[in-house]
Amino acid sequence: MRIAHLIMVHKNAAQVERLVKALAHEQFDFYIHLDAKANLEDYAGVAALPQVTFIQKRYDIPWASYNLTAAAVQGIREILASGTSYDFINLMSGQDYPIKSPDSIYSFFARHIGCTFLAFEPQSEDSEWWRHAIGRIEKYHMIQFSFKARYRVEKVLNWLLPKRKFPLPYKLYGGTYGTWWTMGTDCAAYLLKFMDEHPGLRRFSYFTWAPDEFLVSTILMNSPLKDKIINDNYRYLDWSRGGPNPKTLTVEDANELARSYKLFARKFDITQDAEILDIVDGLVANSDFRLSV
């Protein structure tokens, strides 16, 4: 069993290097997508680590834009074309960190070959997230673009044009945990082929705010592979403060991380609190944790 960890990176080269070292395992390879705005030379230390490959086609990824999904799909493309056979592709950010040992993570996925791990809510009037998020689909958003008058154009488009509709007759799935996933390579190949065959879906997503939180889940949960999907991405995030971003984790979160059954946590920032990663390393080193799932 072998895993390709696809890591989306835009800052903090030292933190990314620490992440790769913390997750090092003989059956884990690391594929780094470095945002096109970042300087590749700053990541020489990461590139020198064993089993690390940089994704060749780099995307400039504005926050909440479709380009995060586009970069992940490109990562899948290059991983599947690498010539190495993988059982899983695990999408992470450079601000993630393992909260279980590499051996525990390996053992967990070895017991679940053939599965895909996503986190989502089906679209429903009872879903607080969907009551807000439906506006991402029905309205035009210009987050993908950088010209000065983009928000004025956005306002005019939404005033003049009717509500948008998702371009496929699909039930929608998504949520605040939807961006990050661990995907069996059969689902990854299906997603890649689907995106290549539906350019209209890409065009729709260019005008969508944060499609990464629902697009992949929607495609796969409407696919023939849906029965292989487990609704848990095994990431610890803290959304308790509200807003569009999860809390940046610090030493005050150590107890919650120690109690969590999740495999990974995000997000961390060593420029704000590096000590929490030392604490996590200690928890992992002294834990005899076993997942029962």
pLDDT along the chain (293 residues), means of 10: 98 98 98 98 98 98 97 98 98 98 97 98 94 96 94 96 97 97 98 98 96 98 98 97 92 96 97 97 78 44
250 to each of 7, 166, 270, how far by Cα in Å?
Answer: 21, 38, 9
Question: What pLDDT shows up at residue 286?
Answer: 86
The DSSP call for residue 126 is T
Kindly report the CATH number that applies to the domain delimited by 3-124+167-285: 3.90.550
Positive or negative, the CA dihedral 117, 276, 65, 174 is positive
Q: What is the pLDDT of residue 231?
A: 98
Residue 288's pLDDT is 55
Q: Which of 89, 81, 85 is nearest to 8 (CA)?
A: 89
Q: How high is the pLDDT of residue 93? A: 98
Q: Alpha carbon of 202 to those of 83, 100, 169, 208: distances in Å?
A: 27, 36, 16, 10
Strands (E), 106-232: 116-118, 121-122, 173-174, 182-184, 229-231
What distance in Å separates the CA atoms of residue 230 and residue 118, rounded to the nearest whole number? 6
**DSSP H or E segment with residue 5:** strand 3-9
What is the reported pTM?
A: 0.96
To 5 degrees, how large is the angle CA 186–CA 187–CA 192? 100
